[in-house]
Amino acid sequence: MHRLAATTLIFAACAFGATTAEPNQSQIDDIIQKFAAKEAAFAQARENYTYRQTVKIHELDDSGAVTGSWEMVSDIIFTPDGKRTEHVVRAPMSTLHNILLTPEDEQDLRSVQPFVLTTPELPKYLIRYLGRQKVDEIGTYVFAVKPKKMEPGQRYFEGEVWVDDQDLQIVKTYGRGVGRVNKESNQFPKFETYREQIDGKYWFPTYTIANDTLNFKDFSQRIRMSVRYEDYKQFKSNIKIQYGEPVKPEAPNPAPQPPKPE
């Protein structure tokens, strides 16, 4: 966001899970390869779903009162000839005073905040295992992720990801979008994205929240941002998603619960 300062995200603490033997380095490498393969399958599956996306950004004063707002509601749909497109449902006039959305912000909304770490993306990132944690009732492996280098015009994720230790799919991310930009006039908030199981198979992003202060050269601006992804519906059914070895049926894990929006 141009002239938009970073916000202090209200981060839900995750309790460490029960004592379990930590994986060795070979097992960690195997976990990374497996969850990246499942992320690739998930990314392919999501391309065959329609959904509604609601983005809200508020400027806040020092007391937390809203002083300006921007909102956009759009449907991610398919045209009659099968092309994926975005249809804007509602976009009230912006009342933001100090910040402006940039092409980098739009890239972050599309690909960084609903972060997907697929097999082809692995060579772009340094990935470090941090340990086991529980997100609500879900046992997870936690990894720190950051780009190895930044190419001009590209946006990347830097932060942490929580990977379900049974499904080996990302269930939560916390971090920010990064890239090669003028940092004096461009700042990007830290955000937290939660996923839920859709159709009993895929962990899709359903909620992103940021509550941060963006520190520019001349001033700072508190913001609050939320993104909701709702009403997922499969458009095509001619794809097959295979996750390797069959797994015995188990009761589905409950989805991590995001904080309630203010």
Distance CA 227, CA 177 (A): 15
Question: CB within 8 A of 249, min separation 6: which ones?
Answer: none
Structure tokens, 232:
């997922």
**Phi-psi label, residue 103: left if phi above 0, alpha if psi -120 to 50, beta otherwise:** alpha
pLDDT tens column, 183-212:
878 999 999 999 999 998 889 999 999 999
pLDDT of residue 56 exceeding 50: yes
Distance CA 112, CA 176 (A): 8
Closest CA to 50 of 87, 30, 76: 76
Distance CA 39, CA 43 (A): 6
Q: Radius of gyration over alpha carbons of the chain, in Å?
A: 19
pLDDT tens column, 211-228:
999 999 889 999 999 999
pLDDT tens column, 75-124:
999 988 888 899 999 999 999 999 999 999 999 999 999 999 999 999 99
Closest CA to 167 of 247, 53, 73: 247
Task: Evaluate whether 165 touches 30 at the Cβ level (below 8 Å).
Answer: no
pLDDT of residue 125 exceeding 60: yes
**Domain positions in the chain:** 5-10+24-234
Q: Percent of the chain, pLDDT > 70?
A: 82
Distance CA 116, CA 232 (A): 17
**Phi-psi label, residue 129: left if phi above 0, alpha if psi -120 to 50, beta otherwise:** beta
pLDDT of residue 32 exceeding 90: yes
Beta bridge partners of 131: 142
- How much is the average pLDDT of 33-57? 95
Return the pLDDT at 136: 87
Return the pLDDT at 235: 86
